[in-house]
Structure 1
Amino acid sequence: MRSEASEGTVLGADVCVVGGGPGGRALALALTRLGCDVVLLEKRDPARGGAPAFRGESVSPDGVRLLDGLGVWERLRKAAHRVDRLEIEDAGRRVLDVRFADFPYRYRHPVELAQPTLLAALAEPAGPLPGTCTVLEPATAVGLLVEGPAVTGVRASTPTGTVRVSAALTVGADGRYSAVRRLSGLAEHARQLPLERDVVWLKLPFPAEWDRRAYRVRIAGDSHGLFLPSTDGTVRVGLNIPKGGLRTLRAGGLGQLHARIGHLAPEAAEAARDGLRSWSETALLDIFTTELPRWSAPGVVLIGDAAHTLSPVLGQGVNHALADAVTLAPLVAEALDRDRRAHGRALLEALQHFQRRREPDVGRSRALQLRQERMFTLTAPAATALRRTVYRALDASPALRRRVLAPAYFPGQRPVAPPEQQDAASEAAPV
């Protein structure tokens, strides 16, 4: 529901979630299913458009599993576009072709899912829930309420005045530039690693000769691009450029951008020339990763990109935000119940336990992403030849593919015997 606030409004809740992206919405839903009362603050104004364009549409097989567990997958299935393959071409030759049906898991296929569709499903549960969720939008967190050493809520700015939300727990689900991370002091010891590139995102008409059920990575020397099918029938392109190189690229005009796309993917050259007519149709993503030694303090915790910013390789941001939400919710619900009865330290212990459970999966994804980033930027002939050799070895060995890719795509699943395999994404609708 949407609620409007007036000057000096005071609200009370078990949990205040700052950020209405996939992680924040999923956490709010999971908590209300467990009987908690939640206030969710979302800074974007729904009257002025939805989620950011281009990004956040790729949901891994494990993300599908989590959405199924939240009870929203059946409503999303027909709106999702199933992906069957991941292919990598280097110097014009295919060096890796991964078929997701070959993996021995119940949920095997990633899907593309428009983020507004996902957020709407998470915001509107199918039936009544034991807890409540009050949504304030637009609402921007401008300060934290503090009592002694503990955060006790949020002070938020809305178009109609200031709102104070008193809560036993405040959750920063507000992304890579998290205000809650900064306001809580958790950012003080953050380690940010800038990578060697940025990404220009854009959408193009889908090339006629391409399979619509494939993720494509194209590499040429030290340049590479991601070509991902979108649910609207276009192809979403993530084109790497040198760190801070947007001004140089734009100085060359759109023709230089068209040429760069055509160099990586000749099949998309015509679509780039005909479909990309203005720089306003592009968006820049500054690429970096962030590691925090602590994700929580008394009364406050971070999830998703606020706790562990990742790069866009393999589309892990949305999926780790969903996993954080689903892991955190039952720990918090149980701890709040215990603290109400015993006035103990259950919540603080639950937040520390949450980080211990989630950190290994996040660390494995980050390590895989950083290895891929390094491989993408190799330039010396011997190094690029080694890169192609590595990909071909991966392509030739099913066991090696499982070892390398399973931590990214299937971290929450155990292998199942072939007769028992049931792919919950198999009926996802094609574009």
Structure 2
Amino acid sequence: MTGTGTGPPEVATGVDADAAAEVDADVCVVGGGPAGAALALALVRLGLRTALLERAPDGLRPFRGESLSPDAVWHLDRLGVLDRLAPEALTVRGLEVADAGRTVLSVPFADFPHAHRFPLELPQPRLLAVLAEAAAEHPGFLPLPRWTVTGLLREGGRTVGVRAATPGGEGLVRARLTAAADGRHSPTRRLAGLPAATTPLRRDVLWLRLPQVWSEPAYRIRIRGDRHAVLLPDSGGTVRVGFNLPKGGLRELRAQGVAALLERLDQLAPELSGVAGQQIGDWSDTALLDIFSTVVPTWWQPGLVLLGDAAHTLSPVLGQGVHHALADAAALAPLAAAALHDGGPAALDAALAGYQRRRQPAVARSRALQARQERLFTWASPPAAALRRTVYRALDAAAPLRRRVLEPVYFADQLSAQEEDQP
């Protein structure tokens, strides 16, 4: 089955998603983003009847999740969908950092010795559609679009499913495992009472799209003083521009008018100045992303587990969100499937605890890397900025050092798999 829509395809499942219903499944996945859709596909491939609830009718998420790191690409290959996605994706060849108008770091991804070495850029709705199409080829897939969780079903201290608002009234999904992949604000996490510590970071990101002006697809970071912008190409011939702003700084910038935004763009990326003046007419052509980090000490409780942003919200630095969503799904699915096929509640609880033990250190490493990079971007005094440029130039000059620093960012999962395969 193939399709070109932005949301999950219509699939004959015996369940009318637009009518109130009671659905029985092995697993109820809440949230149809990358984590939830990948988990649903992995579970149905392992023979589990899996319901996937997604409250958004079309899967559209502007300025989110278009970057697929090399490890994310590797996970998609293991899920069997990369061949469907690659023809529509843009292959990113390198990473460039310019500071004070001069290139201080240039990283060709071709230099890394891994099977999947290049990031891909793909609109998230298409990624979600392909994951759903692949899941729909298995008889156990139960897509439930426009179902919004309103409560958890509990029996004997365990979660045994969810209560949901549907287009036709109240619906129930009964399942031995409920997996919450419903984003960084996770209503399911809140309903479960799992504590989370949210820390606002010192900046927000203002996003806009402009026509692509570079011939070589690369991630570009532009720094000047304590200001920086990320420039991300996409498969549609445009570039996503993300400006860092002080937390709450959009109000001050808007008070200065669109001209102030264009001036900032001219300082950081003068190549885009001409097209920016033609494309950006008012603030409706931009989107603000509130940046915060969420640490969830415990990712599970009997019968329920968190994954993706619901378990660990990271900043957008280094493009780690989709990677960790897919990595969570890849780690959770075989552990949960083994317990659901062959064990009882105690085995399932042990599997959920094992999943958190496996994934939590990788998330912590990414969070620490992001924090270090964030601090580097904000060094503003002339001596600090000079030191920052020295750091980047040292990486640029030494390929072994560059590999040592960047492999944990982009290739950690492939490295781990190689180590596990060694006798």
Match of 1:253 among 254, 257, 265: 257
> 1:86 maps to what in 2?
95
> Where do residues 44-83 of structure 1 align in structure 2 (5 Å cutoff)?
44-46=56-58, 50-83=59-92
> 1:24 maps to what in 2?
36
Task: Kindly indicate whether the alpha-carbon contact (under 8 Å) linking 1:17 and 1:24 is maintained by their aligned counterparts in 2.
Answer: yes
TM-score by length of 2: 0.93
AA aligned to 1:101 is A
SS at structure 1 position matched to 2:391: helix
Task: Kindly indicate whether the alpha-carbon contact (under 8 Å) linking 1:5 and 1:163 is maintained by their aligned counterparts in 2.
Answer: no
Task: Sort the Cα spacing of 1:416 and 1:98 in 2 relative to 1 into closer, same or farther, 3 A.
Answer: farther
SS at structure 2 position matched to 1:71: coil
Give distance in 1, aligned partners of 2:282 and 2:134. 39
Asked whether 1:234 is paired with 2:233, we answer no
> 1:283 maps to what in 2?
287
Q: CA deviation at 1:289?
A: 1.0
Task: Sort the Cα spacing of 1:177 and 1:416 in 2 relative to 1 into closer, same or farther, 3 A.
Answer: closer
Give distance in 1, aligned partners of 2:162 and 2:395. 49
Give distance in 2, aligned partners of 1:31 and 1:270. 49
Give distance in 1, aligned partners of 2:132 and 2:386. 48
Q: CA deviation at 1:148?
A: 2.5
Task: Sort the Cα spacing of 1:333 and 1:385 in 2 relative to 1 into closer, same or farther, 3 A.
Answer: same
Asked whether 1:354 is paired with 2:355, we answer yes
Match of 1:211 among 211, 215, 236: 215
Task: Sort the Cα spacing of 1:259 and 1:12 in 2 relative to 1 into closer, same or farther, 3 A.
Answer: same
Task: Kindly indicate whether the alpha-carbon contact (under 8 Å) linking 2:204 and 2:247 is maintained by their aligned counterparts in 1.
Answer: yes
Q: CA deviation at 1:212?
A: 3.5
SS at structure 1 position matched to 2:96: strand
- Post-superposition Cα deviations, 1:47-93, rounded to whole Å, max 9, x if no partner, equal xxx42112210001111111111110001111010011100001111
Give distance in 1, aligned partners of 2:20 and 2:136. 32
Segments of 5+ residues of structure 2 without an aligned counterpart are 1-9, 419-423
SS at structure 2 position matched to 1:244: coil
AA aligned to 1:174 is D
- Post-superposition Cα deviations, 1:226-281, rounded to whole Å, max 9, x if no partner, equal 00101110011111111011111111111111111111101111111111112122
Q: CA deviation at 1:390?
A: 1.0
Task: Kindly indicate whether the alpha-carbon contact (under 8 Å) linking 2:335 and 2:351 is maintained by their aligned counterparts in 1.
Answer: yes
SS at structure 1 position matched to 2:387: helix
Q: CA deviation at 1:45?
A: 1.3
Give distance in 1, aligned partners of 2:122 and 2:308. 18
> 1:99 maps to what in 2?
108
SS at structure 1 position matched to 2:202: strand
> 1:368 maps to what in 2?
369
Give distance in 2, aligned partners of 1:69 and 1:272. 40
Give distance in 2, aligned partners of 1:344 and 1:117. 36
Task: Kindly indicate whether the alpha-carbon contact (under 8 Å) linking 1:105 and 1:416 is maintained by their aligned counterparts in 2.
Answer: no
> 1:133 maps to what in 2?
141
> 1:265 maps to what in 2?
269
Task: Kindly indicate whether the alpha-carbon contact (under 8 Å) linking 1:62 and 1:409 is maintained by their aligned counterparts in 2.
Answer: yes
Give distance in 2, aligned partners of 1:21 and 1:274. 33
> Where do residues 197-208 of structure 1 align in structure 2 (5 Å cutoff)?
197-207=203-213
Q: Which moves more between the two structures, 308-317 or 395-404?
A: 395-404
Task: Kindly indicate whether the alpha-carbon contact (under 8 Å) linking 1:5 and 1:161 is maintained by their aligned counterparts in 2.
Answer: no
TM-score by length of 1: 0.91
Match of 1:40 among 30, 52, 55: 52
Task: Kindly indicate whether the alpha-carbon contact (under 8 Å) linking 2:135 and 2:141 is maintained by their aligned counterparts in 1.
Answer: no
SS at structure 1 position matched to 2:198: strand
> 2:404 maps to what in 1?
403
Give distance in 2, aligned partners of 1:319 and 1:330. 18
Give distance in 1, aligned partners of 2:154 and 2:277. 55
Identity of aligned residues (%): 57
Give distance in 2, aligned partners of 1:34 and 1:42. 21
Asked whether 1:324 is paired with 2:328, we answer yes
Q: CA deviation at 1:5?
A: 4.3
Task: Kindly indicate whether the alpha-carbon contact (under 8 Å) linking 1:104 and 1:415 is maintained by their aligned counterparts in 2.
Answer: no
AA aligned to 1:147 is E
Task: Kindly indicate whether the alpha-carbon contact (under 8 Å) linking 2:44 and 2:135 is maintained by their aligned counterparts in 1.
Answer: no
> Where do residues 79-228 of structure 1 align in structure 2 (5 Å cutoff)?
79-125=88-134, 128-129=137-138, 131-186=139-194, 188=195, 190-207=196-213, 210-228=214-232
Q: CA deviation at 1:193?
A: 2.0
- CA RMSD in angstroms comes to 1.7
Match of 1:12 among 24, 43, 67: 24
SS at structure 2 position matched to 1:124: helix
AA aligned to 1:395 is D
- Post-superposition Cα deviations, 1:196-246, rounded to whole Å, max 9, x if no partner, equal 100011101112xx2331100000111100001011100111111110111
Give distance in 1, aligned partners of 2:80 and 2:417. 22
Q: CA deviation at 1:155?
A: 0.8
Give distance in 2, aligned partners of 1:375 and 1:399. 21
Q: CA deviation at 1:18?
A: 0.6
Give distance in 2, aligned partners of 1:235 and 1:355. 36
Task: Kindly indicate whether the alpha-carbon contact (under 8 Å) linking 2:70 and 2:411 is maintained by their aligned counterparts in 1.
Answer: yes
Give distance in 2, aligned partners of 1:128 and 1:20. 17
> 2:383 maps to what in 1?
382
Task: Kindly indicate whether the alpha-carbon contact (under 8 Å) linking 1:88 and 1:218 is maintained by their aligned counterparts in 2.
Answer: yes
Task: Kindly indicate whether the alpha-carbon contact (under 8 Å) linking 1:178 and 1:306 is maintained by their aligned counterparts in 2.
Answer: yes
> Where do residues 308-347 of structure 1 align in structure 2 (5 Å cutoff)?
308-339=312-343, 343-347=344-348
Q: CA deviation at 1:416?
A: 11
> 1:424 maps to what in 2?
none
Task: Sort the Cα spacing of 1:317 and 1:218 in 2 relative to 1 into closer, same or farther, 3 A.
Answer: same
Give distance in 1, aligned partners of 2:199 and 2:408. 22
AA aligned to 2:356 is Q
Task: Sort the Cα spacing of 1:78 and 1:391 in 2 relative to 1 into closer, same or farther, 3 A.
Answer: same
Task: Kindly indicate whether the alpha-carbon contact (under 8 Å) linking 2:160 and 2:303 is maintained by their aligned counterparts in 1.
Answer: yes
> 1:428 maps to what in 2?
none
Give distance in 1, aligned partners of 2:289 and 2:416. 35
